[in-house]
Structure 1
Amino acid sequence: MSKRIIPKADVTGERSIRFAFSTEVAKETFSQVQQFCEMIEKELQFYIQEVVPSYHTVMVYLKKDIPDKAPLIESLMQKWERHYKADGTFKSRKLQIPVCYGGKFGLDMERVVKHTGLTEREIITIHVESVYTVYMIGFLPGFPYLGGLNDRLATPRLQTPRLKVPKGTVGIGGSQTGIYPLECPGGWNIIGKTPIDIYDPDRKEPFFIRTGDQLQFYPISIEEFFNIEKEMKKDPGLLKEFIKLD
Protein backbone atom coordinates (compact mmCIF):
# COMPACT_ATOMS: atom_id res chain seq x y z
CA MET A 1 0.00 0.00 0.00
CA SER A 2 1.22 3.51 -0.78
CA LYS A 3 0.80 6.56 1.43
CA ARG A 4 -1.52 9.26 0.15
CA ILE A 5 0.38 12.08 -1.55
CA ILE A 6 -0.87 15.60 -1.00
CA PRO A 7 -0.26 17.32 -4.34
CA LYS A 8 1.16 20.81 -4.59
CA ALA A 9 -1.29 23.08 -6.38
CA ASP A 10 -0.08 25.91 -8.61
CA VAL A 11 -2.36 28.31 -10.48
CA THR A 12 -0.84 28.40 -13.96
CA GLY A 13 -3.38 30.63 -15.70
CA GLU A 14 -6.80 32.22 -15.46
CA ARG A 15 -8.41 28.87 -16.20
CA SER A 16 -5.76 26.33 -15.25
CA ILE A 17 -4.38 24.66 -12.13
CA ARG A 18 -1.44 22.25 -11.96
CA PHE A 19 -1.34 19.57 -9.25
CA ALA A 20 2.13 18.05 -8.73
CA PHE A 21 2.31 14.75 -6.87
CA SER A 22 6.02 14.08 -7.19
CA THR A 23 9.08 14.59 -9.36
CA GLU A 24 9.72 10.88 -9.85
CA VAL A 25 8.17 8.39 -12.25
CA ALA A 26 6.60 5.49 -10.34
CA LYS A 27 3.55 3.27 -10.71
CA GLU A 28 2.40 4.14 -7.18
CA THR A 29 2.44 7.84 -7.99
CA PHE A 30 0.66 7.33 -11.30
CA SER A 31 -2.04 5.32 -9.51
CA GLN A 32 -2.73 8.36 -7.34
CA VAL A 33 -2.71 10.60 -10.42
CA GLN A 34 -5.42 8.37 -11.92
CA GLN A 35 -7.49 8.45 -8.73
CA PHE A 36 -7.17 12.23 -8.53
CA CYS A 37 -8.33 12.60 -12.15
CA GLU A 38 -11.31 10.38 -11.39
CA MET A 39 -12.20 12.57 -8.41
CA ILE A 40 -11.80 15.82 -10.38
CA GLU A 41 -14.01 14.58 -13.21
CA LYS A 42 -16.64 13.58 -10.66
CA GLU A 43 -16.52 16.65 -8.42
CA LEU A 44 -15.95 19.33 -11.07
CA GLN A 45 -17.73 17.84 -14.06
CA PHE A 46 -19.70 21.03 -14.75
CA TYR A 47 -16.67 23.30 -14.41
CA ILE A 48 -13.82 21.53 -16.17
CA GLN A 49 -12.85 21.85 -19.81
CA GLU A 50 -10.19 19.15 -19.70
CA VAL A 51 -8.13 17.08 -17.28
CA VAL A 52 -4.64 16.14 -18.50
CA PRO A 53 -2.66 13.59 -16.48
CA SER A 54 1.05 12.89 -16.85
CA TYR A 55 3.63 10.78 -15.00
CA HIS A 56 3.23 12.68 -11.74
CA THR A 57 1.11 15.77 -12.42
CA VAL A 58 -2.47 16.67 -13.28
CA MET A 59 -3.38 19.76 -15.29
CA VAL A 60 -6.96 20.95 -14.80
CA TYR A 61 -8.42 23.36 -17.35
CA LEU A 62 -11.60 25.18 -16.30
CA LYS A 63 -14.45 26.32 -18.53
CA LYS A 64 -14.36 29.79 -17.02
CA ASP A 65 -12.11 31.85 -14.82
CA ILE A 66 -12.54 31.58 -11.06
CA PRO A 67 -10.82 34.73 -9.69
CA ASP A 68 -10.08 33.26 -6.25
CA LYS A 69 -9.08 29.64 -6.72
CA ALA A 70 -7.85 29.09 -3.15
CA PRO A 71 -11.25 27.92 -1.77
CA LEU A 72 -11.63 25.54 -4.73
CA ILE A 73 -8.18 24.05 -4.17
CA GLU A 74 -8.77 23.69 -0.42
CA SER A 75 -12.10 21.95 -1.07
CA LEU A 76 -10.44 19.54 -3.51
CA MET A 77 -7.73 18.67 -0.99
CA GLN A 78 -10.40 17.80 1.58
CA LYS A 79 -12.25 15.67 -0.96
CA TRP A 80 -8.98 13.99 -1.95
CA GLU A 81 -8.45 12.85 1.63
CA ARG A 82 -11.82 11.08 1.55
CA HIS A 83 -11.54 9.81 -2.02
CA TYR A 84 -8.05 8.28 -1.85
CA LYS A 85 -7.80 4.50 -1.53
CA ALA A 86 -4.42 2.95 -0.78
CA ASP A 87 -5.37 -0.19 -2.70
CA GLY A 88 -7.15 1.67 -5.49
CA THR A 89 -7.02 -0.19 -8.79
CA PHE A 90 -8.19 0.80 -12.25
CA LYS A 91 -9.47 -1.30 -15.08
CA SER A 92 -7.04 -0.59 -17.90
CA ARG A 93 -7.44 -1.51 -21.53
CA LYS A 94 -4.85 -3.93 -22.85
CA LEU A 95 -3.52 -3.30 -26.33
CA GLN A 96 -1.20 -5.41 -28.45
CA ILE A 97 0.41 -3.53 -31.31
CA PRO A 98 2.21 -5.19 -34.26
CA VAL A 99 5.79 -4.10 -35.00
CA CYS A 100 8.21 -5.09 -37.74
CA TYR A 101 11.64 -4.90 -36.10
CA GLY A 102 15.05 -4.30 -37.65
CA GLY A 103 15.97 -4.21 -41.33
CA LYS A 104 14.75 -1.14 -43.23
CA PHE A 105 12.55 -0.24 -40.25
CA GLY A 106 15.30 -0.49 -37.63
CA LEU A 107 17.83 2.15 -38.63
CA ASP A 108 19.37 2.33 -35.15
CA MET A 109 19.12 -1.32 -34.19
CA GLU A 110 22.88 -1.77 -34.57
CA ARG A 111 23.47 1.23 -32.32
CA VAL A 112 21.27 -0.31 -29.62
CA VAL A 113 23.09 -3.64 -30.08
CA LYS A 114 26.47 -1.96 -29.50
CA HIS A 115 25.28 0.07 -26.52
CA THR A 116 23.47 -2.74 -24.71
CA GLY A 117 25.72 -5.65 -25.65
CA LEU A 118 22.63 -7.64 -26.60
CA THR A 119 21.91 -9.35 -29.91
CA GLU A 120 19.14 -8.06 -32.17
CA ARG A 121 17.05 -11.13 -31.34
CA GLU A 122 17.49 -10.51 -27.60
CA ILE A 123 16.51 -6.85 -27.99
CA ILE A 124 13.31 -7.79 -29.83
CA THR A 125 12.45 -10.51 -27.31
CA ILE A 126 12.91 -8.20 -24.32
CA HIS A 127 11.00 -5.37 -26.02
CA VAL A 128 7.94 -7.51 -26.75
CA GLU A 129 7.93 -9.28 -23.38
CA SER A 130 7.49 -6.05 -21.43
CA VAL A 131 4.06 -4.63 -20.62
CA TYR A 132 4.08 -0.84 -20.84
CA THR A 133 1.89 1.70 -19.08
CA VAL A 134 0.80 4.76 -21.08
CA TYR A 135 1.67 7.54 -18.64
CA MET A 136 0.85 10.48 -20.87
CA ILE A 137 0.06 11.60 -24.42
CA GLY A 138 2.27 14.36 -25.98
CA PHE A 139 4.59 15.99 -27.35
CA LEU A 140 2.87 15.32 -30.70
CA PRO A 141 -0.83 14.51 -31.13
CA GLY A 142 -1.22 10.91 -30.00
CA PHE A 143 2.42 10.30 -29.00
CA PRO A 144 2.32 7.76 -26.11
CA TYR A 145 4.98 8.01 -23.41
CA LEU A 146 5.41 4.47 -22.16
CA GLY A 147 6.74 3.43 -18.79
CA GLY A 148 8.14 -0.03 -18.19
CA LEU A 149 11.09 -0.32 -20.59
CA ASN A 150 13.49 -2.99 -19.40
CA ASP A 151 16.67 -1.33 -18.07
CA ARG A 152 18.75 -3.58 -20.31
CA LEU A 153 17.37 -1.76 -23.38
CA ALA A 154 17.95 1.81 -22.20
CA THR A 155 19.97 3.66 -24.85
CA PRO A 156 20.82 7.39 -25.03
CA ARG A 157 19.07 9.49 -27.64
CA LEU A 158 20.91 10.45 -30.81
CA GLN A 159 23.24 13.43 -30.42
CA THR A 160 21.85 14.88 -33.65
CA PRO A 161 18.11 14.28 -34.15
CA ARG A 162 16.85 13.29 -37.59
CA LEU A 163 14.88 15.89 -39.51
CA LYS A 164 12.27 13.28 -40.49
CA VAL A 165 11.13 10.20 -38.61
CA PRO A 166 8.29 8.30 -40.38
CA LYS A 167 4.95 7.89 -38.64
CA GLY A 168 4.56 4.52 -36.97
CA THR A 169 8.24 4.40 -36.02
CA VAL A 170 8.97 2.62 -32.75
CA GLY A 171 11.98 3.95 -30.90
CA ILE A 172 13.94 3.94 -27.66
CA GLY A 173 14.95 7.23 -26.07
CA GLY A 174 16.92 6.86 -22.87
CA SER A 175 14.84 4.77 -20.47
CA GLN A 176 11.62 5.12 -22.49
CA THR A 177 10.08 3.66 -25.61
CA GLY A 178 7.35 5.08 -27.78
CA ILE A 179 5.62 5.30 -31.16
CA TYR A 180 5.78 8.28 -33.49
CA PRO A 181 2.17 9.04 -34.57
CA LEU A 182 3.24 11.48 -37.29
CA GLU A 183 6.25 12.14 -39.48
CA CYS A 184 8.41 14.60 -37.57
CA PRO A 185 11.96 15.36 -36.38
CA GLY A 186 13.17 13.01 -33.66
CA GLY A 187 16.22 11.73 -31.83
CA TRP A 188 15.07 8.38 -30.47
CA ASN A 189 16.79 5.17 -31.58
CA ILE A 190 14.68 3.61 -34.34
CA ILE A 191 14.23 -0.14 -33.85
CA GLY A 192 11.03 -0.90 -35.76
CA LYS A 193 7.77 0.30 -37.22
CA THR A 194 4.07 -0.46 -36.84
CA PRO A 195 1.67 -0.44 -39.82
CA ILE A 196 -1.06 0.86 -37.51
CA ASP A 197 -2.08 4.54 -37.55
CA ILE A 198 -2.26 5.25 -33.83
CA TYR A 199 -3.42 8.79 -34.63
CA ASP A 200 -5.82 9.75 -37.40
CA PRO A 201 -7.61 13.13 -37.26
CA ASP A 202 -10.28 11.85 -39.67
CA ARG A 203 -11.14 8.86 -37.50
CA LYS A 204 -14.08 8.94 -35.09
CA GLU A 205 -11.61 8.23 -32.31
CA PRO A 206 -8.45 10.12 -33.47
CA PHE A 207 -6.36 9.21 -30.42
CA PHE A 208 -6.72 5.46 -30.17
CA ILE A 209 -4.18 5.01 -27.37
CA ARG A 210 -5.23 6.54 -24.05
CA THR A 211 -3.49 7.48 -20.83
CA GLY A 212 -3.59 4.51 -18.45
CA ASP A 213 -3.69 1.84 -21.18
CA GLN A 214 -1.50 -1.25 -20.83
CA LEU A 215 0.39 -1.81 -24.06
CA GLN A 216 2.44 -4.68 -25.42
CA PHE A 217 4.12 -5.13 -28.80
CA TYR A 218 4.16 -8.28 -30.90
CA PRO A 219 6.62 -8.95 -33.76
CA ILE A 220 5.54 -9.35 -37.37
CA SER A 221 7.45 -10.04 -40.59
CA ILE A 222 7.91 -7.44 -43.31
CA GLU A 223 5.36 -9.35 -45.43
CA GLU A 224 2.83 -9.14 -42.61
CA PHE A 225 3.63 -5.43 -42.21
CA PHE A 226 2.72 -4.62 -45.80
CA ASN A 227 -0.34 -6.88 -45.72
CA ILE A 228 -1.69 -5.12 -42.62
CA GLU A 229 -0.88 -1.71 -44.10
CA LYS A 230 -2.74 -2.67 -47.29
CA GLU A 231 -5.76 -3.98 -45.40
CA MET A 232 -5.89 -0.88 -43.20
CA LYS A 233 -6.01 1.37 -46.25
CA LYS A 234 -8.95 -0.62 -47.61
CA ASP A 235 -10.84 -0.69 -44.34
CA PRO A 236 -9.69 1.54 -41.42
CA GLY A 237 -12.30 -0.25 -39.32
CA LEU A 238 -9.93 -3.21 -39.05
CA LEU A 239 -7.82 -1.23 -36.58
CA LYS A 240 -9.16 -3.03 -33.52
CA GLU A 241 -8.62 -6.42 -35.14
CA PHE A 242 -4.92 -5.80 -35.74
CA ILE A 243 -4.36 -4.06 -32.40
CA LYS A 244 -5.89 -7.00 -30.51
CA LEU A 245 -7.82 -4.88 -28.03
CA ASP A 246 -8.77 -6.66 -24.78
Structure 2
Amino acid sequence: MADSCLPWDYGLNIAKRQDPLLREFQEGPLRFPPTYKFDKNSDNYDTSEKKRKPAWTDRILWRLKRQPHAGSYTPKLPAPNFSLSLKSYISHMMYTISDHKPVSGTFDLEVKPVVFIPMITLMHEGLWTTENDILISYSSTPDFLSSPWDWIGLYKVGLRHINDYVSFVWVGDNQVSSNDGLNQVYINVNNIPETEDQFLLCYYSNSLQSVAGISNPFKIQPRVILQEDPPGEAQPQI
Protein backbone atom coordinates (compact mmCIF):
# COMPACT_ATOMS: atom_id res chain seq x y z
CA MET A 1 0.00 0.00 0.00
CA ALA A 2 2.78 2.44 0.93
CA ASP A 3 4.71 1.98 -2.32
CA SER A 4 1.62 2.35 -4.50
CA CYS A 5 0.69 5.65 -2.85
CA LEU A 6 4.15 7.20 -2.94
CA PRO A 7 3.59 9.07 -6.24
CA TRP A 8 0.75 10.95 -4.57
CA ASP A 9 3.05 12.13 -1.76
CA TYR A 10 4.14 15.28 -3.55
CA GLY A 11 3.02 17.94 -1.06
CA LEU A 12 6.18 17.81 1.07
CA ASN A 13 8.43 17.78 -1.99
CA ILE A 14 6.73 20.89 -3.36
CA ALA A 15 7.10 22.63 0.00
CA LYS A 16 10.82 21.76 0.08
CA ARG A 17 11.37 23.22 -3.37
CA GLN A 18 9.77 26.48 -2.24
CA ASP A 19 11.34 26.76 1.21
CA PRO A 20 15.18 26.64 1.51
CA LEU A 21 14.99 26.07 5.28
CA LEU A 22 12.65 23.11 4.89
CA ARG A 23 15.13 21.52 2.47
CA GLU A 24 17.58 21.19 5.36
CA PHE A 25 15.26 18.76 7.14
CA GLN A 26 15.64 15.00 6.70
CA GLU A 27 13.13 12.18 6.88
CA GLY A 28 13.37 8.42 6.92
CA PRO A 29 11.82 6.20 4.24
CA LEU A 30 8.04 5.85 4.34
CA ARG A 31 7.60 2.13 4.82
CA PHE A 32 4.20 2.28 6.44
CA PRO A 33 0.72 2.94 4.99
CA PRO A 34 -0.69 6.47 4.76
CA THR A 35 -1.79 7.65 8.18
CA TYR A 36 -4.80 9.76 7.14
CA LYS A 37 -7.79 9.84 6.75
CA PHE A 38 -9.48 6.97 8.59
CA ASP A 39 -13.00 6.46 9.75
CA LYS A 40 -12.93 6.81 13.49
CA ASN A 41 -12.88 3.61 15.50
CA SER A 42 -11.91 1.58 12.45
CA ASP A 43 -9.05 0.70 10.13
CA ASN A 44 -10.95 1.85 7.04
CA TYR A 45 -9.87 4.84 5.02
CA ASP A 46 -12.41 7.63 4.59
CA THR A 47 -15.77 6.24 3.48
CA SER A 48 -17.62 9.55 3.81
CA GLU A 49 -18.97 11.44 0.80
CA LYS A 50 -15.67 13.33 0.48
CA LYS A 51 -13.66 10.08 0.22
CA ARG A 52 -10.36 11.80 0.84
CA LYS A 53 -7.32 10.15 -0.71
CA PRO A 54 -5.03 8.45 1.82
CA ALA A 55 -2.03 10.63 2.68
CA TRP A 56 1.02 10.71 4.93
CA THR A 57 0.07 13.74 7.01
CA ASP A 58 1.82 12.54 10.16
CA ARG A 59 5.58 12.86 9.68
CA ILE A 60 8.81 13.16 11.63
CA LEU A 61 11.39 15.51 10.13
CA TRP A 62 14.66 16.43 11.77
CA ARG A 63 17.44 18.90 11.21
CA LEU A 64 20.84 19.24 12.81
CA LYS A 65 21.57 22.77 13.94
CA ARG A 66 23.84 24.56 11.53
CA GLN A 67 27.16 25.96 12.74
CA PRO A 68 27.20 29.76 12.40
CA HIS A 69 29.61 31.08 9.82
CA ALA A 70 32.79 32.49 11.34
CA GLY A 71 33.04 36.20 10.57
CA SER A 72 35.63 38.85 11.23
CA TYR A 73 34.40 39.13 14.82
CA THR A 74 34.36 35.43 15.73
CA PRO A 75 37.14 32.83 15.73
CA LYS A 76 36.93 29.76 13.51
CA LEU A 77 34.42 27.32 14.99
CA PRO A 78 35.13 23.60 15.37
CA ALA A 79 33.29 20.96 13.35
CA PRO A 80 30.13 19.48 14.94
CA ASN A 81 31.00 16.85 17.52
CA PHE A 82 27.80 14.82 17.29
CA SER A 83 25.87 12.72 14.78
CA LEU A 84 22.25 11.58 14.59
CA SER A 85 20.95 8.47 12.85
CA LEU A 86 17.41 7.14 12.47
CA LYS A 87 16.95 3.56 13.69
CA SER A 88 13.22 3.08 13.21
CA TYR A 89 10.32 5.04 11.68
CA ILE A 90 6.94 3.35 12.09
CA SER A 91 3.23 3.98 12.34
CA HIS A 92 0.92 2.60 15.01
CA MET A 93 -2.11 1.33 13.16
CA MET A 94 -3.75 -0.21 16.22
CA TYR A 95 -5.03 3.17 17.46
CA THR A 96 -8.52 3.99 16.17
CA ILE A 97 -9.75 6.86 18.33
CA SER A 98 -8.70 9.44 15.72
CA ASP A 99 -8.88 9.82 11.95
CA HIS A 100 -5.03 9.90 12.07
CA LYS A 101 -2.61 7.10 12.90
CA PRO A 102 0.31 8.18 15.11
CA VAL A 103 3.91 7.66 14.04
CA SER A 104 7.11 7.38 16.05
CA GLY A 105 10.83 7.42 15.39
CA THR A 106 13.82 6.10 17.30
CA PHE A 107 17.17 7.84 16.93
CA ASP A 108 20.75 7.18 17.94
CA LEU A 109 22.64 10.27 19.07
CA GLU A 110 26.41 9.91 19.17
CA VAL A 111 28.33 12.62 21.00
CA LYS A 112 32.07 12.63 20.47
CA PRO A 113 34.42 13.63 23.30
CA VAL A 114 35.37 17.28 23.17
CA VAL A 115 39.03 18.04 23.78
CA PHE A 116 40.13 21.60 23.29
CA ILE A 117 42.44 24.27 24.64
CA PRO A 118 40.49 26.90 26.62
CA MET A 119 40.53 30.33 25.03
CA ILE A 120 40.83 31.91 28.49
CA THR A 121 43.08 30.76 31.35
CA LEU A 122 41.94 32.10 34.72
CA MET A 123 44.14 32.40 37.81
CA HIS A 124 43.21 33.66 41.26
CA GLU A 125 46.10 35.64 42.69
CA GLY A 126 47.42 34.97 46.19
CA LEU A 127 45.35 34.06 49.24
CA TRP A 128 41.74 35.10 48.85
CA THR A 129 39.97 36.40 51.93
CA THR A 130 36.74 38.23 52.65
CA GLU A 131 38.72 41.17 54.03
CA ASN A 132 40.15 42.58 50.77
CA ASP A 133 39.33 42.99 47.13
CA ILE A 134 40.05 39.88 45.07
CA LEU A 135 42.52 40.11 42.19
CA ILE A 136 41.92 37.90 39.15
CA SER A 137 44.50 37.35 36.40
CA TYR A 138 43.65 35.84 33.04
CA SER A 139 45.30 35.29 29.68
CA SER A 140 43.77 34.55 26.28
CA THR A 141 44.74 32.69 23.13
CA PRO A 142 45.90 34.86 20.19
CA ASP A 143 42.70 34.30 18.19
CA PHE A 144 40.33 35.23 21.02
CA LEU A 145 38.50 38.53 20.51
CA SER A 146 37.16 40.06 23.71
CA SER A 147 34.09 42.24 24.02
CA PRO A 148 33.18 45.07 26.43
CA TRP A 149 30.28 42.83 27.47
CA ASP A 150 32.47 39.90 28.57
CA TRP A 151 32.32 39.13 32.27
CA ILE A 152 33.85 36.88 34.91
CA GLY A 153 31.56 35.16 37.38
CA LEU A 154 32.36 33.79 40.84
CA TYR A 155 30.55 30.50 41.43
CA LYS A 156 30.18 27.88 44.10
CA VAL A 157 31.48 24.51 42.91
CA GLY A 158 28.54 22.49 41.60
CA LEU A 159 26.87 25.25 39.59
CA ARG A 160 24.13 24.12 37.22
CA HIS A 161 23.67 27.23 35.09
CA ILE A 162 25.78 30.17 33.95
CA ASN A 163 23.44 32.50 35.87
CA ASP A 164 24.16 30.75 39.18
CA TYR A 165 27.00 33.16 40.01
CA VAL A 166 27.30 34.65 43.50
CA SER A 167 29.12 37.67 42.10
CA PHE A 168 30.47 38.89 38.76
CA VAL A 169 32.52 41.68 37.20
CA TRP A 170 32.66 43.21 33.74
CA VAL A 171 36.18 42.69 32.44
CA GLY A 172 36.25 46.19 30.93
CA ASP A 173 34.92 48.15 33.90
CA ASN A 174 36.98 46.38 36.57
CA GLN A 175 40.28 46.04 34.74
CA VAL A 176 43.38 46.87 36.76
CA SER A 177 46.09 46.18 34.19
CA SER A 178 46.76 44.64 30.79
CA ASN A 179 50.27 43.75 29.69
CA ASP A 180 51.73 41.16 27.28
CA GLY A 181 48.49 39.20 27.08
CA LEU A 182 48.03 39.07 30.86
CA ASN A 183 45.02 40.96 32.19
CA GLN A 184 43.95 41.68 35.74
CA VAL A 185 40.54 42.60 37.12
CA TYR A 186 39.23 42.82 40.66
CA ILE A 187 36.11 41.89 42.60
CA ASN A 188 35.11 44.39 45.27
CA VAL A 189 35.30 43.06 48.82
CA ASN A 190 31.61 43.91 49.31
CA ASN A 191 30.70 41.34 46.63
CA ILE A 192 32.62 38.45 48.17
CA PRO A 193 30.48 35.89 50.05
CA GLU A 194 31.48 35.02 53.61
CA THR A 195 31.12 31.25 53.36
CA GLU A 196 33.61 28.39 53.50
CA ASP A 197 32.40 26.77 50.26
CA GLN A 198 34.67 25.95 47.35
CA PHE A 199 34.49 28.40 44.46
CA LEU A 200 35.62 28.70 40.86
CA LEU A 201 35.72 31.41 38.20
CA CYS A 202 34.12 31.35 34.75
CA TYR A 203 34.89 33.76 31.91
CA TYR A 204 31.80 34.35 29.74
CA SER A 205 32.33 35.54 26.15
CA ASN A 206 29.51 37.67 24.80
CA SER A 207 30.63 37.13 21.19
CA LEU A 208 30.62 33.34 21.52
CA GLN A 209 27.62 33.30 23.88
CA SER A 210 29.52 30.68 25.84
CA VAL A 211 31.97 30.08 28.66
CA ALA A 212 35.52 30.55 27.32
CA GLY A 213 37.48 29.52 30.43
CA ILE A 214 37.08 27.99 33.90
CA SER A 215 39.50 28.19 36.83
CA ASN A 216 40.50 25.46 39.24
CA PRO A 217 38.46 25.29 42.47
CA PHE A 218 39.67 27.32 45.45
CA LYS A 219 38.54 28.49 48.89
CA ILE A 220 37.99 32.01 50.19
CA GLN A 221 39.30 32.41 53.72
CA PRO A 222 36.75 33.86 56.16
CA ARG A 223 37.27 37.13 57.95
CA VAL A 224 39.53 36.89 61.03
CA ILE A 225 38.00 38.58 64.09
CA LEU A 226 40.48 39.49 66.82
CA GLN A 227 39.06 39.38 70.33
CA GLU A 228 40.17 42.01 72.84
CA ASP A 229 41.60 40.83 76.16
CA PRO A 230 39.39 41.34 79.24
CA PRO A 231 40.12 44.57 81.17
CA GLY A 232 42.77 44.29 83.84
CA GLU A 233 44.40 41.18 82.42
CA ALA A 234 48.18 41.43 82.10
CA GLN A 235 49.54 41.87 78.60
CA PRO A 236 52.57 39.93 77.37
CA GLN A 237 55.75 41.94 77.13
CA ILE A 238 58.34 41.51 74.40
Length-normalised TM-score, structure 2 = 0.19
Task: Considering fraction of residues, name the structure with more helix.
Answer: 1
Greater relative contact order, per chain length (Cα 8 Å cut-off, separation 6+)? 1
Length-normalised TM-score, structure 1 = 0.19
